Structure 1
Amino acid sequence: MRQFAQEVNRIGTERGTPLKYQQPSVSQWLKGQLPKESVRPLILEAFARRLRRPVTHAEAGFPSIASESQGRGDPNTVEEMIDLGSQDMSPSRRSILGASIFSAALTFPNWPEIVGRMESVQAGSTSRIGMPDVEMITKMTDHLYTLYDQFGGRHSRPMAATFLVNTVAPYLRADAPEGVRKAMMSAASYLCYLTGWMAVDEGLHGLAQSYYVKGLEFAGASADHMTYCHILRGMSVQAVDLGHGPAAVRLADAASAASPESGPRMNAFMAGQQAHSFAVAGDRVNALRSIRQAEKAMDMAESPLGTFGGYNPATLAYHVSQVRYALGDIPGSVESLQLHFRLRDPTDTQVSAMRFSSMLAERQLKMGHLEAACKTWNQVLDQYPAIHSGRVDEQVASIRALLGPYRSNSVAREIYERSLRAA
């Protein structure tokens, strides 16, 4: 019971609302006393993580809620996307969305279950769309990605949500030839994925999962197999970064198994994520096997980089670093992360550059290389004012705690004080 209370507290911390439940509270719950309504989702998630499957309110002995019954049957995907985006647009509702928690046992729609199926996207509106409208959605999505790339997700995500609700949703309900309708749903799928990725950047993990699932449903409706696999892989990235190794493996394996392409670059794209997931799950054998597969496939890759499967030697070096770190090889992880930066294209995302630089500094400090870590952090702080990212905020805030014990060193004290001013 003590361990269960600790798990509920841990999930509360993930959500941003730390709790202090102890064994007596669990004993009271077992005797029939209902936990607070706000705590029940945390308890269900704790059960789900232990059982590795979703647990309903009824199974836990809690009163049923309307949202569970609404989730049964064929989803009204467009309506749900509008509800989700509308809440995300509203500053007064964002705190509620932000309180939604990441589910390690989330069930996702399998490809055969959703391909070509979308009862909620029905023609009949008075308006009619064509391929130029699809191209406009695609170009706007590219523009939103550029904004995220340069500045982070804090400002770009509400813009993406507004675009989904006000422009994309009406187009999804418009009359159109079959080819145009499928192309529009495919474009909506990728935009949902991008919006979810931006939510991850802000630490809004439950919200991100909601966008990801909408993206999977639109991908199935449009028979866009590639986007479906790409979203599953993105969900694995989210899970592994949160430390949920088994969930990350499940999602990475599903993405790889469903991939419609088998070229070397795509194989490397999938195997690199599988390797990282296995490493975080503690499966050393499969982690090393998968990273070797990624390296071999990368050596054979001749296809040009693309939106999907745009895997390159720099990304591979990052995955090697993450595998080494998860398996306890900190010096090796630093070496591979430094290789990543040597191979990295100057046009790669600024947000990831900040995140990976912060990782490098933290690992340099763990190796005892204080001045090297301070030099790396100094570079992070140079770029920090232009970035609006929840994850980068957390990494910069951690500098104070990490350098606190070293303030007698003048270099460390300078970076420590600079991080205080930046917060």
Structure 2
Amino acid sequence: MSEQNDSLAALVQESEFSWAGLARRVNDLGLAEGIALRYDYTAVNRWIKRGEKPRSPVPVLLARALSERLGRRITPSDLGMMEEQTLAARGLEYAHSPRATVDTIIDLGRADVKRRNIIRAPFVLAALGAPSRDWLLATLDETVTDRGPRQIGMRQVGGIRDMFALFQDMDVMRGGGHARTALVEYMQSYVLPLLKRDHEAPVQRALYEAAAEQSYLVGWMAYDDGEHGLAQRYLIQALRLAQASKSSALGAHVLAGMSDQANLLGHPREALMLARAGRRGLVEGESLACLADLHILEGRAHAALGDSAAATRAVTQAEQTFGRVTHENEPTWAKFIDTPYLLGEAAHCFRDLGEPDQIETFAEESAAVARQQGRARRGALSEAALAIAELERTHVEAAASKATLVVDLAASVNSSRAIATVRDLQERMAPFADVPEVQRFNVHARDLLGLAA
């Protein structure tokens, strides 16, 4: 038996609509759009008491009727009638209005926390072009508008930023699956409602920037947790909020994340386009760490395309740019763009190009610093690159030994990427299944991670 829809019941009571009156208003709104509806009070009874959900577009009409009566915007998700197919499509849109973007992030968060089908929404390759184009054009030709009276100040925004730093550290140290739900709930309960009100222009921009940072991070967490369609939607919405904040560096950072995801999913040409768009829109000197990241992601895309010369040039540019970074002058979200990250990504460039000496050069230092910092996810990725370098040299026993260490690191974090790295090693070592060290590695992966060879 379905549960009562308490959200709808509360709004109907607040509106002082009778059930029959609400049904009549929904019918009238449908007629204005050429839709013949015949609802009466018994339909509203079913929607409230039984939790039944009418077919599209009735939830939208119902929300419109209540919005008229209450004098504020009500959405189908406020009624407990979120249409997940519509939300999946809306999440891929780069909205004209930041307010519409905030509503989309709220709806994504509600569906995410309740583990609805949106978490299984597909990654859509065709959706990558328009957001990066719209962000770049808006960044190169931005207009400024005035805002209304101040509601909160920079002190409160600073508190939101402090929470972002805390959640980012949890992601870096424990993996994307560790605290995503907590971050979504914090955004839903505190950050996003603030963006539904008007503030002084500097505060408004700072709030957009803080919300963009958190939307990016929750998207990155979903990416690390293997929920790529959901991650893509969060990232597109974060890009729109970054534009509203007028931070070209943050927008470029979001595009870097989108590039990383596209490359991981086997779309290196789109990954290259996204990284270049980020670099083109980045104001010179605004974040050298972000610029270094975009260079290394271009290298990753070139390597996936098999262009060794272009990949090597990009890695060199990334190293040179990173050498000029003053970390205390960088935004908090750039904290993870450090030595183990950058060298680890360089090692993956040469992994994809099959160059074991270069893999070892970059991965050894990345793994060593990650070990000092206690960063198991980054350590797992870099140790896996070292295992692949040993396989490239047909040093199977040494590769299996390093792969066993990767299992231990992957087991200590909540990261689907780390698990996928172990699976990749199992596939690469499948031709050597009779080697005792490989057998021990496979047993270890089965016992700790449940991964059968």
TM-score (norm. length: structure 1): 0.74
> Residue in 2 aligned with 1:96?
118
Aligned-pair Cα RMSD in Å: 3.2
Are residues 122 and 86 of structure 1, via their aligned partners in 2, closer, same or farther at CA, if it must alter by over 3 Å? Answer: farther
Q: Does structure 1 retain, via aligned residues, the 8 Å contact 2:384–2:425?
A: no
Query: 1:149-168, aligned counterparts within 5 Å?
Result: 149-168=172-191
> Residue in 1 aligned with 2:34?
none
> Residue in 2 aligned with 1:110?
135
Query: 1:36-47, aligned counterparts within 5 Å?
Result: none
User: Which amino acid is 2:410 matched to?
Assistant: Y
In structure 1, how many angstroms separate the alpha carbons of the residues matched to 2:196 and 2:288? 38
Q: 2:285 matched to 1:288? A: no
Bigger shift: 148-157 or 338-347?
Answer: 338-347
Deviation at residue 314 of structure 1 after TM alignment: 4.1
Are residues 237 and 136 of structure 1, via their aligned partners in 2, closer, same or farther at CA, if it must alter by over 3 Å? Answer: same
> Residue in 2 aligned with 1:391?
417
In structure 1, how many angstroms separate the alpha carbons of the residues matched to 2:344 and 2:217? 21
User: Which amino acid is 1:420 matched to?
Assistant: R
Q: Aligned pairs, how many?
A: 354
Query: 1:120-131, aligned counterparts within 5 Å?
Result: 128-131=151-154
Match 2:279 to one of 251, 256, 263: 256
User: Which amino acid is 1:389 matched to?
Assistant: S
Deviation at residue 303 of structure 1 after TM alignment: 5.9
Are residues 209 and 122 of structure 1, via their aligned partners in 2, closer, same or farther at CA, if it must alter by over 3 Å? Answer: farther
In structure 2, how many angstroms separate the alpha carbons of the residues matched to 1:87 and 1:266? 31
Deviation at residue 298 of structure 1 after TM alignment: 4.0
Deviation at residue 403 of structure 1 after TM alignment: 4.4
Bigger shift: 256-265 or 220-229?
Answer: 256-265
Please state whether the residue corresponding to 2:125 is helix, strand or coil. Answer: coil
Q: Does structure 2 retain, via aligned residues, the 8 Å contact 1:256–1:270?
A: yes
Deviation at residue 399 of structure 1 after TM alignment: 4.9
Q: Does structure 1 retain, via aligned residues, the 8 Å contact 2:173–2:374?
A: no
Deviation at residue 368 of structure 1 after TM alignment: 1.5
> Residue in 1 aligned with 2:216?
193
User: Which amino acid is 1:90 matched to?
Assistant: K
Match 2:349 to one of 315, 319, 323: 323
Query: 1:244-393, aligned counterparts within 5 Å?
Result: 244-262=267-285, 267-301=291-325, 304=328, 306=330, 307=332, 311-344=337-370, 346-347=372-373, 349-393=375-419
Deviation at residue 230 of structure 1 after TM alignment: 0.9
The one-character-per-residue Cα deviations of 1:153-186 (angstroms, maximum 9, x if unpaired) are: 1231122221222211111123432221211110
Q: Does structure 2 retain, via aligned residues, the 8 Å contact 1:131–1:180?
A: yes
In structure 2, how many angstroms separate the alpha carbons of the residues matched to 1:204 and 1:117? 35
How many percent identity over aligned positions?
25
Please state whether the residue corresponding to 2:197 is helix, strand or coil. Answer: coil
The one-character-per-residue Cα deviations of 1:278-312 (angstroms, maximum 9, x if unpaired) are: 22233344323322323333455556573355554
User: Which amino acid is 1:103 matched to?
Assistant: L
Please state whether the residue corresponding to 2:414 is helix, strand or coil. Answer: coil
Deviation at residue 222 of structure 1 after TM alignment: 1.4
In structure 2, how many angstroms separate the alpha carbons of the residues matched to 1:140 and 1:72? 26
Q: Does structure 1 retain, via aligned residues, the 8 Å contact 2:90–2:104?
A: no
TM-score (norm. length: structure 2): 0.69
Match 2:247 to one of 212, 219, 224: 224
| Alignment gaps of 5+ in structure 1 | 1-64
Query: 1:61-72, aligned counterparts within 5 Å?
Result: none
Q: 2:192 matched to 1:169? A: yes
> Residue in 2 aligned with 1:11?
none
Q: Does structure 1 retain, via aligned residues, the 8 Å contact 2:151–2:199?
A: yes
Query: 1:9-88, aligned counterparts within 5 Å?
Result: 74-75=96-97, 76-88=100-112
| Alignment gaps of 5+ in structure 2 | 1-84
Bigger shift: 272-281 or 297-306?
Answer: 297-306
Greater Cα radius of gyration, structure 1 or 2: 2
Deviation at residue 259 of structure 1 after TM alignment: 0.9
Are residues 98 and 226 of structure 1, via their aligned partners in 2, closer, same or farther at CA, if it must alter by over 3 Å? Answer: same
